[in-house]
Amino acid sequence: MHTLISIDTVRGPFVREIEEISGQNLLACNQCGMCSAGCPVASAMDMLPSQVIRLAQLGMEEALTAGGRGDTTVWLCASCLACATRCPKGVDLPRVMEALRQIQLRRGAVRMDLDALPPQLARALPQVAIVGAYRKYLK
């Protein structure tokens, strides 16, 4: 399979949108991998957090939106901020993940179905979990 990397995507609107929403300079990341090493959810993701920011640098929109291989990473990130605390380059990766979620949500994506939860769990959940999830997965 060929992947085309071109100046049009690297300097394209997708990269600009991520940077505008997150306030982060994507090119500051030097791919050291520290974020992935400490990410508690990495084992459940199809792609490591450091790979997501690499694809974001290159403007690979398809891979990072619904149906792409980076999609699970974007939606499984728990905003735990461990990676941001440890990044030697000062990249706030949770903000990049939030921007990637927001880009989809602002285009109308709905990424949570409360009715799909086991009823026992739905009754037991603390309010902060429900309100927090609404804010992360719905617009």
Partner 1 sequence: MGGVKHRGGTYPYYPGCTLSTQARAYDRSGRAVAAALGIGLQELAEWQCCGATFPLTIDDSMALIAPTRVLCQAQDSGERVVTLCAVCFHVLRRCQVLLADDAQMLERINWFIEQDYRGELHVAHLLEVLRDDLGWNAVGSRVSRPLDGLRVAPYYGCLLLRPREEIGLDDPEDPSILHDLIRVVGADPVDFPYAIECCGSYLTAKEPRVSERLSREIVASAQESGADLLITACPLCQFNLDYPQRETRAAAAGDGLPVIYFTQLLAVAFGLPRDTWGFEDHYVDPIPALTSMVGISHEV
Instruction: Report the distance separating Cα 45 and Cα 62, nearest Å.
Output: 17
Give the type of residue at 94. P
Q: How far is CA 48 from CA 10, 53, 118, 132, in A?
A: 20, 9, 29, 23
Residue 82 CB, nearest approach to ligand SF4 (Å)? 4
Q: How far is CA 125 from CA 52, 65, 119, in A?
A: 30, 29, 10
68 contact, one of ligand SF4, partner 1, none, CB 5-8 Å limit per kind? none
Contact 94, 77 (CB under 8 A): yes
55 binds ligand SF4 (CB under 6 A): no
32 contact, one of ligand SF4, partner 1, none, CB 5-8 Å limit per kind? ligand SF4
85 binds ligand SF4 (CB under 6 A): no
Contact 102, 75 (CB under 8 A): no
What residues line the site for partner 1 (CB under 8 A)? 20-23, 40-41, 44, 75-76, 78-82, 84-86, 92, 94-95, 97-99, 102, 111-112, 114, 117-118, 121, 124-133, 135-137
Residue 4 CB, nearest approach to partner 1 (Å)? 29
User: By the criterion CB under 6 A, which residues form the site for ligand SF4?
Assistant: 29-35, 38-39, 41, 49-50, 53, 77-83, 87, 89, 91, 93-94, 97
